Structure 1
Amino acid sequence: MTRSATVPAVENALLNVVDVEATCWDGQPPPGQPSEIVEIGLTVVDLASGTRVGKHRVLVRPRRSTVSAFCTELTGLTQAEVDTGLSFAEACRLLATEHDAGTRPWASWGDYDRNQFTRQCQATGTRYPFGRVHTNAKVAFTAAHGLRKRPGMSQALEIAGLPLEGRHHRGEDDAWNIAALVLHLRARDAWPGPGRPEPS
């Protein structure tokens, strides 16, 4: 799922910025409870115009785990709220049909989101919704600013002089803020667009 140096240009220059929240615990998970996605935040970025053009939120109903008190404190999400969400398979189909996830390039802050989708798709026999063009925005930001360590999203916003909008660890807000960092990199001509190699 890493970027290829020979990826063809994307005609509409739209990018999906994705951030997920998953069931989590303060310490080891309870026996038999894997971490499962409960919220998918997605912001659409128009790289040609340099704007964020869509903010989306998809709640996902966990199948084998529950929302802990720790998870609620961290994300604000409750069990009752995520119980109203889509199944994971339905959420993946939604990404593919409504957000062109299979053909549109996408980005996340780090590789956690990509890896979590991969693990959960394999565990549930669900078709992976994304295409192969993925950019690790944390790597791109670290390279552009010449940093020795890769920063968290909130620290990166401080470095870039950007505000943290909304609530940290809420998928829709984190995706929105990561999209701002993508546009920050684009303005510095440091975003690895389609056909350009991603920084290592």
Structure 2
Amino acid sequence: MASSMIHLAITQCLTKKMKFKDSGRLSLGSILPDGIISGNSHLKKEICDGTRVTYDLEFFREKFQEEMKQDDLYLGYYLHLIQDIFYRYFIYSEHDWNPTIPGNIDRLHRDYAITNWHVVNCYKLNKEMVQAVEIEKEPITELAEFDVPGMVEEVRGQFVPIEEDDSFFFTKEMADEFIERATTFCMEEMKHLSEGKEGLDSVTWSWEKQV
């Protein structure tokens, strides 16, 4: 869903507003769900008799509640999931994105490439934010198989200037708006969890299954 640079920018904004134990593991966690080889890293599931889809946030919170408190890798991973849920709402519900039109997916990925360099500069991102670490013995690998070195190499390869061009759909302004709103969204979720309140309801934030 959202690009790795968008996730890293939100993480960068969060670290300026809140204290974390390990910003490096937080950053890695914030992009880790997209670094899969196999498995269901986003915990996608069908609900409502197969008519709607969501990410099983409740399962993640229950399974990794202690890890989320102690290890920012797991907190970053969880925040990635809720950022992606919010991103779906942002581009589909608010901006009427239609991925079924032939060529639209490729055009969106081109927009990501165009906006990435803007995000890198605007939010002061750098390659050192993402470091490959060994996670083979981590409980998170029960969800999926990850290629951490490959993912880190790919993300670092996105830190390159690109020739200015007009966006097809996802503009720099949309990127900035989403990063700002998603940062607030994440902070509210962390506040609720720290106060012992219920986390984000995955059913409420579900979306209609595309046929």
Q: Quick check: TM above 0.5?
A: no
Name whichever structure is richer in helix by fraction. Answer: 2
TM-score (norm 2): 0.25
Give the structure with the higher percent strand: 1
